[in-house]
Structure 1
Amino acid sequence: MTLLGLIFLSGLVFFVVDFTRMGTVPYKTIQKQPDIRYTNIPTIFVHGYRGNRYSFGHMLQRFERSQVADKVAVVKVFADGRFTWKGQLGGALNPTIQVLFKKGTANVWAQTEWLHNLLAYLYHEGIPRVNLVGHSMGAVTVVAYCARFGNTPKLPQVAKVVTIAGPFNDFELGRDEREIFSYRLTRKGPEHRTPIYQFLKDNIDRIPKPIDFLNIVGNILPSTRVQHDGSVSSDSSFALAFILQGTKHHYAQALMRGPGAAHSLLHENALVDENIVDFLWRNEKAQP
Structure 2
Amino acid sequence: MKKYYQLLLGLSAIFVGLLGISSRVRAVTRYVQSATPTIFVHGWGSGSHAEEKMANAARDAGVIKTIVRANVDKKGRVTFNRPIPANAVNPIVEVNLEDNKLSAYRDNYTQGYHHGGEYVKNVVLALEKQHHYKQINLVGHSMGNLEIINYINDNVNDKSLPQVAHLVVIAGHYNGLVGQSETQNAKINPKTGEPEKMDSVYRELLGLRQTFLKNTAVLNIYGDVGDGSHSDEDVPVNSAKSLKYLVSDRAKSYREVEIHGKNAQHSKLHNNSQVNRELIKFLWEESN
TM-score with structure 2 length normalisation?
0.80
For 2:233 and 2:282, locate their aligned partners in 1 and report how far apart those are by CA, in whole Å: 25
DSSP 3-state at the match of 1:112:
helix
Partner Cα separation in structure 1 for residue 283 and residue 33 of structure 2: 10
**Mapping for residues 203-222 of structure 1, pairs under 5 Å:** 203=208, 205-207=210-212, 209-222=214-227
Amino acid at match of 1:127: Y
Q: CA deviation at 1:208?
A: 5.6
Aligned to 1:151: 157
Confirm or deny: 8 A CA contact 1:111 1:141 kept in the other structure.
Answer: yes
TM-score in terms of structure 1 length: 0.80
**CA–CA distance in structure 2, aligned partners of residues 92 and 210 of structure 1:** 24
CA contact (8 A) 1:229 1:261 kept: yes
Report the counterpart of residue 20 of structure 1 in structure 2.
none
State the AA in 1 paired with 2:65: D
Segments of 5+ residues of structure 1 without an aligned counterpart are 1-31
Equivalence for 2:38: 43
What is the aligned partner in structure 2 of residue 7 from structure 1? Answer: none
- Aligned-pair CA distance for 1:181: 2.8
Pick from 226, 240, 253 the counterpart of residue 237 of structure 1: 240
Q: Deviations over 1:119-154 (max 9, x none)?
A: 123234311210000000111221221111122132
Aligned pair partner of 1:262 in 261, 265, 269: 265
Q: Give the whole-Å Cα distance in 1 for the aligned partners of 2:153 and 2:172.
A: 15
> Alpha carbon RMSD of aligned pairs, Å?
2.3
Q: What is the CA-CA distance between 1:118 and the residue it aligns to? A: 1.8
Aligned to 2:97: 101
Matches within 5 A, 1:80-229: 80-89=75-84, 90-106=86-102, 107-124=112-129, 125-170=131-176, 177=179, 181-187=184-190, 189-203=194-208, 205-207=210-212, 209-223=214-228, 226-229=229-232
Amino acid at match of 1:97: V
The alpha-carbon deviation at position 182 of structure 1 amounts to 3.3
1:73-121 alpha-carbon deviations (Å, 9 max, x no partner): 1011011111111122221111000000011101312210111122123
Deviations 1:180-218 (A, max 9, x none): 933221345211111221222213532564211000011
Contact 2:78–2:126 (CA<8 Å) still a contact in 1?
no
Answer yes or no: is 1:56 the counterpart of 2:51.
yes
What residue identity is the alignment partner of 2:253? H
2: CA distance, partners of 1:50 / 1:205: 32
1:271 is the counterpart of 2:274: yes
Letter in 1 for 2:77: R
Deviates more, 1:119-128 or 1:79-88: 119-128
Structure 1 distance, partners of 2:189, 2:153, is: 24
CA distance in 1, matches of 2:220, 2:251: 16
Q: Secondary structure at the match of 2:28?
A: coil
> Could you tell me how far apart the structure 2 residues matched to 1:238 and 1:230 are?
15
The residue type paired with residue 67 of structure 2 is: V
Note if contact 2:218-2:251 (Cα within 8 Å) is conserved in structure 1. Answer: no
List runs of 5+ in structure 2 lacking aligned partners.
1-26, 103-111
Cα distance in 1 for partners of 2:209, 2:72 equals: 25
Cα 1:249–1:196 shift into 2, 3 Å: farther
Measure, in 2, the Cα distance between the counterparts of 1:95 and 1:153.
Answer: 23
Q: Give identity over the alignment, percent.
A: 26
Matches of 1:253 and 1:37, distance apart in 2: 22
Distance 1:167 1:209 in 2: 23
Equivalences, count:
249
What SS class does the counterpart of residue 33 from structure 1 fall into?
Answer: helix
Deviates more, 1:257-266 or 1:34-43: 34-43
Larger Rg: 2
Q: Tell me if structure 1 keeps the 8 A contact 2:184–2:236.
A: yes
Distance 2:213 2:247 in 1: 14
